[in-house]
Chains A and B, each alone.
Chain A
Amino acid sequence: MEKLPPYACGSSEHGMSRRRMLGTLGGAIGFGSLLQPTIAEQIRNHGKRVCLIWLDGGVSQYESWHPLPESKFAGPFRSIKTSIPGIHFSELMPHTAKIAHKISVIRSMETKDPNHSSGVPRVQRGDPLDRGVDYPYLGSAIAKLAGPANPELPPYVWIKPGNGGFIHREAGFLGSKYGALALGDGKPPVHIHRPDSISAEIDDARNVLRQKVNERFKAYRHASEIDAYETSFDLARQLMARKDIFDDTKLSAKDQDRYGSHPLGRHILRARQLLEAGVRFVKVNSYHWDTHGDNFNMSQRLVPQVDQPFAALINDLEDRGMLDHTLVIVMSEFGRTPIINSRLGRDHWPDCWSIGLAGCGIKHGAVIGKTTKDGAFVDGEGYDIGHLFHTIFTLLDINPRKTNYRHKGQKLAIANDECEPIKEVMM
């Protein structure tokens, strides 16, 4: 019988330590620490990062990674040569075609859910076996499993159109502190800004006053709550001091040219800055990829918006020596139907679709996955989302077979027990 964490320690030391709070959204005096401190420390010192570019609604594989112009399901776009001999992408991806030798493509994704409402959470949670709990989304999972890469910054930042703030719902059973700091339209929550009425000097002065009050209180008292509360202010001040990494006006014009001036371009550029600053996991969301009608005009407008900044990101990460330890993933909750419907659209298609991956031990220039001739189905075994999660964790040095979450005394596998890493995409 394994002892539960709350009582295993047998002393007051199970309160929260400063270290456990650093780099989360805040301190819980929660229990159930996942890793031994020494292992956690090693992983933390390891600088591996992740950037997930999420094309919500479902990008069409035919108009991107897997064009198949000879197929009976092909659309009007040509396919173009890539930097890998014999491999073609859609002509809507000219920039990515030039860097194909730096990335990998999986063309045999075969997942289970054709609905947006259940498919998005299912895919972003890695489709684990049902254990009766709400699993965390990938960003919250990595925040928990790997911790912050830079303890002064939250480990999970989510750049999205629309509203931002502190969004907890993706953390699932891990609890609110593993939620995302969400930058709505690329902007940080308003409370990161000091109001105009308070100068930097006064801000320092008032915080010194606050610390003095606390010092006196602390002198006679020992409680983890007290440390956790002070730490939350330290974290807040550290984040305020790094406001520059959230500041749109600091983006260079040349960079903006290379990434594109549309929101997705600017958001991927912002993601690069955050990864450089030490954010462990950045998710960039783009919406409206659900092309049930007018798929071809929409793809013509949308696909270049990911093509250009994705290629720029890969090149920049490589130039900075970061690509070897930064995993970049471009994906959706499913692909789109081979059959073109009566509204010149493509519908939802989880049976055979494609994703792009790069960096952090992903092979250079591997294009894997056989499909039937016209691309409608996987020829042989497809890869489910559980396989992808095993791959991601393995690349981040988190052994998905040996690492478990612990929730309410229950050991929970971090990735679907029935899956394996996708070896052929890994170096």
Chain B
Amino acid sequence: MRAYITICILQCACLGWSAEHLHQSIDRLIKTKAGGPIAGKSNDPEFFRRVQLDLAGQIPTSKEVRDFIQNKNPNKRAKLIDQLLANDTFAEHWTDRLSVMLLERQNLGKINDEDWRSFLIKQLKEEPRWDVMAYEMITADGKGDTRAAMRFLGNANHERMTKDIARLFLGMDLQCAKCHDHPSVDEWKQAHFWGLFAYLNQTKSATHSKNKLPYFVENLATKKVEFQSVFEAEKKSTGPYLPGGKEIDIPTFEKGQEYEKPAADGLPAVPKFRPRELMARELTSNNNRYFTRNAVNRLWYLMMGRGLSHPLDEVHAQNPPSHPQLMKLLMKEFAAHKFDVKWFIREIALSESYQRSSKLPQDAKQPDPALYITAHPKALTPEQLLRAILKATGNTKRVEALKADPNAEKFDRRGYFTGSHRELPSSYEEIKAVFMETFAQPAGQEEVEFLPGLNKALFLMNDRLLLSWLHPQGENLVARVNKLKDPKSISEELYFNVLGRPPVKEEIHIVSEYLEKQNSRRTEALGELVWSLLTSIEFRINH
């Protein structure tokens, strides 16, 4: 913490900034634009659940919420934010988030999930720098300790790499620009697609002749990439070229001088001119406003539920950011802070704009989500949802410990969904897979918006595994409330555990009424009360 303050002071002094912290500037600019009434500050339970979900990927326990409400320290929110950012759970949760964002649940290439996750976790535990992470993903060639970063480029398909780098690191969905200038986005040209392509088209997957590990190697680049619009007869060509930059000349070498290193050690010769490396350097440099703008927009989205430019891969002049000045400021400061992801997240979390209630202010009509007048509802990710359901129902420990029985018949996941396989999944791995199959987007599709669906609702209503967690077992939630007598303590235990807040009077009344009506089947009725909270919108979103 002290280090942070020192750095901030030094930087402020060097750059001659005013005393305003970034989070204060955020609030000033959001307020100015809002014009009308703004939602008040979130209450403690609302803030606590939100920040736990965003920074640790978890809903809080009942005790944690109660302690936080009791805590009288006026700085408790800031302290909590710093604690959460320092925890390993931050690294793990943000590994989930970044991994889903960057890979879109595709399993391409030869790097396994575990190694890829370790790569991200290591970065996030230390000082995660967006430019460094992007650089490592784009340059990865299988050598050195960042070999797992190769997973981002997958199977080295040139068109896919071009599209992914443009979308995920520049905020440009250049799909349409492959065959012609973009039909509705004036500034996106076909040359943008092929200019990026020209950095990547020498890369190919290889297997080391001795150790059999995967590598990316580069062929010798000798000529420009040719392309032609489907609407024009004229053929065009381009060398490597970044949006907003200049085309790079492909150098020619005398015969025999093309290579920096000869083929050796099971790998082919290394050319002197390596465009992919050049791309990584230029693309992630702090002069590249496309890169910085995309980074800022995506991190802002992850915290605030909506990009300043939205959709996230449609960042261009015709889709201006909701808050242009704020975007500019965030870009400037993020670059000045060396793309420090944690610093950036911390500033957002400290802002009133982040800590605002999701409840509408008095007299406000349906707000434009782009104004951030209330906190924007964010869907729990599939990973968060499973963790939250287990934690809320008090089944985390037991279920996470479930290991597949090597002698048992293999779990048939497809059969489970069609009804031909009646056994419930018996290992945590399978349970996770069942949840991902239900709640995650199909591989290759972005997971940005909240996507409720018929199959998801049917699963929450009728899945036998999920319903089994509502039977009393060990010390789970239903077992615990089953021992309680009065409706008030029952309601409190239910609401604190599932929704992370105390119940209001009216809700205690509903619980009491239901238990009275179902008093011949009290245990089941308690399960149904838990179910009604689990399937509520309040549980399903981070609000």
Contacts and interface: CB of A to CB of B under 8 A. Distances in A.
B454 A239 contact: yes
A231 B173 CA distance: 31
A187 B417 CA distance: 11
Given A163-B414, A191-B463, A233 B179 contact: no
B451 interface: yes
A85 interface: no
A30 B452 CA distance: 11
Contact of B184 (A29, A209, A410): A410
B451 A176 contact: yes
A130 B176 CA distance: 11
A221 B514 contact: no
Interface in A224-257: 225-226, 228-233, 235-237, 239-240
B314 A4 contact: yes
Give the residue among B379, B462, B510 with the most A Cβ atoms within 10 A. B462
B318 interface: yes
A358 to B, nearest CB: 31
Interface stretch (B56-64, B334-342, B346-354, B364-372): B364-372
Contacts of A206: 528, 531-532
Contacts of A37: none
B449 interface: yes
A226 B379 CA distance: 10
A71 B228 CA distance: 48
A72 B533 CA distance: 72
B201 interface: no
A165 interface: yes
B247 interface: no
B464 interface: yes
A194 interface: yes
A258 B161 CA distance: 55
B173 A191 contact: no
B377 A408 contact: no
B175 interface: yes
Give the residue among B368, B441, B458, B528 with the most A Cβ atoms within 10 A. B458
Given A4-B318, A165-B414, A229-B537, A189 B176 contact: no
Nearest to B313: A408
A154 to B, nearest CB: 7
Given A176-B451, A177-B453, A232-B452, A411 B183 contact: yes
Contact of B454 (A25, A190, A213): A25
Given A190-B417, A410-B176, A29 B450 contact: yes
Given A4-B314, A163-B418, A229 B454 contact: no
A129 to B, nearest CB: 9
A405 to B, nearest CB: 13
Interface string A206-218: 1101101110111
Contact of A213 (B175, B417, B418, B538): B538
B183 to A, nearest CB: 5
Interface string B461-478: 111100100000000000
Contacts of A237: 461
B455 A213 contact: no
A184 B376 CA distance: 39
Contact of B461 (A27, A169, A218, A236): A236
Given A25-B455, A163-B418, A223 B368 contact: no
Nearest to B361: A220
B310 A221 contact: no
Nearest to B375: A221
A410 B183 contact: yes
Contacts of B457: 26, 232-233, 235-236
B417 A220 contact: no
Contacts of B467: 195, 197-198
Nearest to A193: B462
B456 interface: yes
Contacts of A73: none
Give the residue among A2, A26, A133 with the most B Cβ atoms within 10 A. A26
A93 to B, nearest CB: 33
Given A4-B319, A223-B377, A410-B183, A189 B368 contact: no
B519 to A, nearest CB: 13
Nearest to A410: B176
B444 to A, nearest CB: 10
B359 interface: yes
A29 to B, nearest CB: 5
Contact of B374 (A24, A190, A221): A221
Interface in A1-40: 1-4, 6-7, 11-12, 15, 21, 24-31
A239 B417 CA distance: 16
B529 interface: yes
B458 A2 contact: no
Contacts of B449: 28-30
B366 A166 contact: no
Nearest to A5: B184
Given A6-B314, A132-B179, A190-B419, A213 B533 contact: yes
A168 B186 CA distance: 32
B326 interface: no
A184 B318 CA distance: 46
Contact of A190 (B173, B379, B416, B536): B416
B221 to A, nearest CB: 25
Interface in B367-413: 367-370, 374, 376-377, 379
A232 B173 contact: no
B543 interface: yes
Interface string A117-161: 000000000000011110000000000000000000010000000
B163 to A, nearest CB: 10
Contacts of A185: 418
A192 interface: yes
A214 B537 contact: yes
A401 B99 CA distance: 42
19 contacts: A4-B319, A12-B367, A28-B451, A189-B417, A191-B463, A193-B462, A195-B467, A198-B467, A209-B532, A225-B377, A225-B450, A225-B541, A226-B541, A229-B450, A230-B537, A232-B453, A236-B461, A237-B461, A410-B176
Given A6-B310, A228-B450, 14 more contacts: A15-B369, A24-B454, A133-B175, A165-B417, A193-B419, A205-B528, A206-B531, A210-B531, A216-B504, A221-B359, A229-B537, A232-B453, A232-B454, A408-B175
| Complex A-B, nearest 3 residue pairs according to Cβ-Cβ distance, in ascending order | A26-B453, A190-B419, A209-B532
